[in-house]
Amino acid sequence: MDYRMSKEQKIITKEDLLPLDAYTKVRRQMRKELVEFKKK
């Protein structure tokens, strides 16, 4: 999954946020990808 925003999009709106039920389904994978990204 790719949730990155382009450089042109700097304003986060409520529509940009994942609903809680969708977030809970992908939280573990997103966290894993974030940890790997931070290691670089």
Residue 28 lies in a domain: yes
CA neighbours within 13 Å on the CB side: how many for 10? Answer: 2
**pLDDT one-digit tens code per residue, 3-35:** 666 667 677 788 888 899 999 999 999 899 999
Q: What is the pLDDT of residue 16?
A: 80
For residues 3 and 6, give the distance between their C-alpha atoms in angstroms, rounded to a whole number. Answer: 10
Residue 2 lies in a domain: no
**Spatial contact of 1 and 26, defined as CB atoms under 8 Å apart:** yes
**Spatial contact of 11 and 39, defined as CB atoms under 8 Å apart:** no
Residue 29 lies in a domain: yes
Domain count, the chain: 1
Residue 30 lies in a domain: yes
Residue 8 lies in a domain: no
**Spatial contact of 31 and 3, defined as CB atoms under 8 Å apart:** no
Residue 9 lies in a domain: no
Q: What is the pLDDT of residue 11?
A: 79
Residue 32 lies in a domain: yes
Residue 25: domain span: 14-40
For residues 2 and 39, give the distance between their C-alpha atoms in angstroms, rounded to a whole number. Answer: 18
